[in-house]
Structure 1
Amino acid sequence: MDDDSPQARWERRTEVPLTLTSLLFLTAYAVEVLAHGLTAVGRYICLVVLLAAWAVFAVDYGMRWRLSGQGRRFVRSHWVDTLVLLLPLLRPLRIVKFYESVQRRHGQPRLALQARVIFYAGLSTLLLGFSGALAVYQQEHGAPSATIRTFGDAVWWTCATLSTVGYGDVAPVTPWGRTIAVGLMACGLALLGAVTGSFSSWLLQVFAREDDAKPPGS
């Protein structure tokens, strides 16, 4: 039976607007970072969109906090939402939550648990990778002695960082760039661990079913 609490009703009503707000935020941020010939008016519009999107997330967070009735426990039990509110880099992950909500509306998810983990991890990697590349490029491309000069360099560095390969041919040199790098390294390790663990669990289940299917003594 679906949860009919005030918080659950609020989340169902706002999931689509919040997903669109996430996409709008990411689009405005990408335009601001990549459109070097953007006029002052254009940059002002992008800034207004970014601040408005953050305000929407803040209002949603405050409403869910109030409706939950959990007080300070809400922050601990919804730490991902707290990070999404505080760190712009993670706001596009709202799209992953929207997909999960859509699947839940249709009853049990159509994908197995391991497949869902791999899918969510893959989608999160794409969103984090694009956002991280934008953030690093914004901080690095104009810095003295920077090795990340183009957005292509930023994408290449982000792929190497999230995959935990770390070639070292390009690397951030600014304090904010290195701070973003630490966050991406942590996310890369977590996502890689989730995918590896889920794949290993799936293999163990497959081998267990094969052993159960064998006749005794074979």
Structure 2
Amino acid sequence: METEPESRLARWESRTELPLFLISLAFTAGYAVRVLVPDSEETMREAGLAITFAAWGCFAGDYLVRLELSGRRPLRFARTHMLDTLVLILPLLRPLRMVQVYNAVQKRRDQPRLGLYARVIAYASLSAVLLGFSGALTVYDHEHEAPGASIVTFGDSIWWVCATLTTVGYGDVVPVTPMGRTVAAGLMFGGMALLGAVTGSFSSWLLQVFTREDEKTPGK
């Protein structure tokens, strides 16, 4: 049975997951404006920076509220809510919380709209798109002016992210900065996990379909 702090925390999370996910999209959009808009468009760049800081402020406020509602000490809360802590430090990883977003929305409905396999594939695909775009922005931001860089346009960065997430790794463009390589390592592990989730779910669905068809075939 849930304690009172856990119950209050669960209610808060249920109410705020979707709004915070939308704010995370605004954060990504603001960061994109900051990175991609030319230096000559100073007003737009400053607006993007303002949106980014405002969104991060919302994340920080939400984290503090969760900490207070949990009734736990900060270090213990950070250990038991590693994903929340990671997202606060690196807001571009907010798409990783999409499972919680889906659960929060689904609690308001009687039955899931999508089957289990469809949910896994949809979550993994959307996560890959959002994380890939965030990774492309981060890598382009740190790479395009670095000495000896091969990722000099945002198009190069998108191409590199596609090759990395799908674990193809052509090697025609590679990051040379410490931050770029750190992002690359994260995308490699994330790509393997997401690709495995999609292929595994799709294979299980196919086996389930073929099994049903075999059961319907006369004489079997």
Pick the TM interval, shorter chain: 0.7 to 0.9
Amino acid at match of 1:166: G
Unaligned stretches of 5+ residues in structure 1: none
Decide which moves more: 92-101 or 142-151. Answer: 92-101
In structure 1, what is the equivalent of residue 204 of structure 2? 201
How far apart in 2 are the matches of 1:82 and 1:208?
43
How far apart in 1 are the matches of 2:22 and 2:114?
25
Shift of 1:31: 0.3
Residues 73-104 of structure 1 show CA distances to partners (whole Å, capped at 9, x for unaligned) of 54444332222112133124456643443233
Q: TM-score, normalised by structure 1?
A: 0.86
Amino acid at match of 1:174: T
1:154 correspondence with 2:125: no
Distance 1:79 1:38, change over 3 A: farther
Residues matched between the structures, number: 215
CA contact (8 A) 1:93 1:127 kept: no
Distance 1:22 1:96, change over 3 A: farther
In structure 1, what is the equivalent of residue 3 of structure 2? none
In structure 2, what is the equivalent of residue 167 of structure 1? 170
In structure 1, what is the equivalent of residue 50 of structure 2? 48
How far apart in 1 are the matches of 2:119 and 2:144?
36
SS at 1:165 equivalent: coil
CA contact (8 A) 2:124 2:197 kept: yes
How far apart in 2 are the matches of 1:38 and 1:18?
31
1:130 correspondence with 2:133: yes
How far apart in 1 are the matches of 2:211 and 2:97?
36
Give the one of 49, 67, 76 matched to 1:65: 67
Unaligned stretches of 5+ residues in structure 2: 1-5
Residue identity (%): 63
SS at 2:15 equivalent: helix
Give the one of 11, 30, 33 matched to 1:31: 33
Amino acid at match of 1:51: F
CA contact (8 A) 1:147 1:170 kept: yes
How far apart in 2 are the matches of 1:17 and 1:176?
30
Decide which moves more: 46-55 or 67-76. Answer: 67-76
Residues 105-129 of structure 1 show CA distances to partners (whole Å, capped at 9, x for unaligned) of 2122111111100000010011011
Amino acid at match of 1:107: D
CA contact (8 A) 1:18 1:94 kept: no
RMSD of aligned residue pairs (Cα, Å): 2.4
In structure 1, what is the equivalent of residue 144 of structure 2? 141
How far apart in 2 are the matches of 1:17 and 1:207?
40
Shift of 1:197: 1.5
Residues 132-170 of structure 1 show CA distances to partners (whole Å, capped at 9, x for unaligned) of 110000011011111101000000000000010001110
1:81 correspondence with 2:88: no
Amino acid at match of 2:194: L
SS at 2:34 equivalent: helix
